[in-house]
Amino acid sequence: SLTQAPATLATADGLAALELAVDTGIAAACAYAVGAMEQTLAITADYMNQRKQFGVPIASFQALRHRIADMKMQLELARSMSYYASLKLGEEAGERRRALARAKVQLGQSMRFVGQQAVQLHGGIGVTDEYIISHYFKTLTQLEMSWGDTLHHLGEVGARMQDTAGVFA
């Protein structure tokens, strides 16, 4: 029995507080993912400069350089959307949730791309527990699945587009 127990009402709208907490968690996961992708890219570029094939570093091969450039492009797309997500945390709930869903879609696509490319560029060593890149790949995969995976948030973006007929302000 909690009669005469002192209590303070924290909020009259618990759902709104919970949604803000979830959105803050999504924004934090996005920022964390950008840092993990930065490290993944740095480790991969360093590995490519050290690993030799046919007597030259594999970083000298044009096709592999293009893959690194694509990884960098995905990282920068993710960074921009992470900033966008963080900036929208102060908006009203509808706009904030739209922004977080958009950010999570881009971050999910970028995390998957960067992680998979890093593993491919490392070859067999990229999936061993003894090498750090496999841990970053697992981290990126876990972050992609946290707070709703990419497909969930793609559905959110699609559902919210119906409200605006596809035109975003």
The domains of the chain, with CATH numbers, are: 17-164 (1.20.140.10)
Q: Is the four-CA dihedral 90, 19, 74, 42 of positive or negative sign?
A: positive
pLDDT value of position 104: 96
Nearest-10 Cα torsion for 9, 10, 14, 17: 170
Beta partners for residue 148, in sequence order? none
Q: Which range (29-33, 34-38, 155-159) has the least confidence?
A: 155-159
Which pLDDT score, from 0 to 100, does residue 163 have?
A: 60
DSSP 48-59: HHH-EETTEEGG
pLDDT bucket at 34, cuts 50 / 70 / 90: very high
**H/E element holding 67?**
helix 62-87
Taking the C-alpha atoms of residue 28 and residue 41, their distance in angstroms, rounded to an integer, is 20
> What is the pLDDT of the chain when averaged over all its residues?
89
Structure tokens given for 105 = 């879609």
Q: What is the pLDDT at residue 35?
A: 97
